[in-house]
Amino acid sequence: MYILGSCIAFFILSLLFTGYMRHYALKKNIIDNPNERSSHSVPTPRGGGVAVVLSYLLALSFLIYTNQLNNDIGLTLIGAGLVISVLGFLDDHGHINSMIRLAIHFIAAISAVASLGGFSAVAVFNGFQLGFAANIIAVLFLVWLLNLYNFMDGINGIASAEAITSALSMAFLYWMLSPVLNFQALLLLAAAVSGFMLWNFPKAKIFMGDACSGFLGLTLGILALYALKQDLALFCAWLICLGVFIVDATYTLIRRILTGHKMYDAHRSHAYQILSRKVGSHTPVTLCVAAINILWLFPIAYLVASQDYTYPELGILIAYMPLIACAVIVKAGDPYA
């Protein structure tokens, strides 16, 4: 009952603060006008995700203050998340140079990896150690997840649905399998995002904005890496639960690069964008993503995390194969699809 009350409180806080952010965005003319990357046709205020950021940072502070969350992961999430959210907030108000933005992403990722104690001792594939290279991979993982979450925040509710279903899935796994890891932090994240989602789905009254999309990507990435410190199988479960976003963004980027497009050019050729145009609505696509996460990815993640497999990494391949096939079929990355 205690955690339920906390979830309700932070859900309401996020819900109310999103309403305030909508009023603020309209007053300051912070409007997202349709462009070549957009899947929207109507100018809409943006920056509502600030409500998620502030609500969740308060939730983390609450968990730390009540000794329900370790300082190492709690302060890492607050510090790195605050930097990225402020950067995104400034970018929502006025364009920031892409190289400066990327440099700050790397600084935040490097700081997070260092704060977590590094990953040189982590072994994969039944004992193979990458040494210091594991730290480099961890940094690249955070930067990519941060940016891909921004890329995937393109239709009503999809970024929120991904965060909520992934957080709840992993909270259940933590509760069932790993008392070392804090499932309350995941429940409160889902609650904060849910408060915003009511303003963004099925009809968007306000968009999330870079302040929140990057924050969510980085937060989920840090939580995944923290799980890696405890159990490789739980890290694999994280990658499985985030499979829709990882596969769509990565496959689309690779195909665009191979066909001669610049990786930073605006576009709307992700699989989810193509599907939303084909069906003529955002709602079915967002609901489909949530269904895939719950009915396909979560059961595989549970099996990978709950069983003592020699190679839990194979679960990622099994989970991703249909997602890759879907990306191929809908021609993700093809600007003419």
The pLDDT-based confidence of 93 (bands split at 50, 70, 90) is confident
Q: Where are the beta strands (DSSP E) in the chain?
A: 31-32, 44-45, 123-124, 128-129
pLDDT at 35 over 70: no
Closest CA to 49 of 213, 178, 205, 194: 213
Residue 33 is predicted with a pLDDT of: 78
| DSSP-assigned letters across all residues of 164-190 | HHHHHHHHHHHHHH-TTS-HHHHHHHH
**pLDDT, tens digit, 9 for 90 and up, residues 243-283:** 999 999 999 999 999 998 877 777 889 999 999 999 999 99
| Mean pLDDT, range 136-163, rounded to an integer | 96
pLDDT at 335 over 80: yes
Residue 36 is predicted with a pLDDT of: 62
Residue 280 makes CB contacts below 8 A (sequence gap 6+) with: none
Residue 285 is predicted with a pLDDT of: 98
Residue 171 is predicted with a pLDDT of: 97
Reading the block at residue 246, the tokens are 């990882």
pLDDT at 286 over 70: yes
Residue 202: helix, strand or coil by DSSP?
coil
Q: Is 262 left (phi over 0), alpha (psi -120 to 50) or beta?
A: beta
pLDDT at 40 over 90: no
The pLDDT-based confidence of 126 (bands split at 50, 70, 90) is confident
Q: Of 27-31, 131-135, 268-272, 278-282, which gets the smallest average pLDDT?
A: 27-31
Render the burial of 234-257: b for 16+ CB within 10 Å, e for the rest. Answer: bbbbbbbbbbbbbbbbbbbbebbe
**Domain segments of the chain as ranges:** 2-242
This prediction has a pTM of 0.96
Residue 94 is predicted with a pLDDT of: 78
Other CB atoms within 10 A of residue 278 CB: 12
Q: Distance from first CA to last CA of the chain, Å, rounded?
A: 49
pLDDT at 37 over 70: no
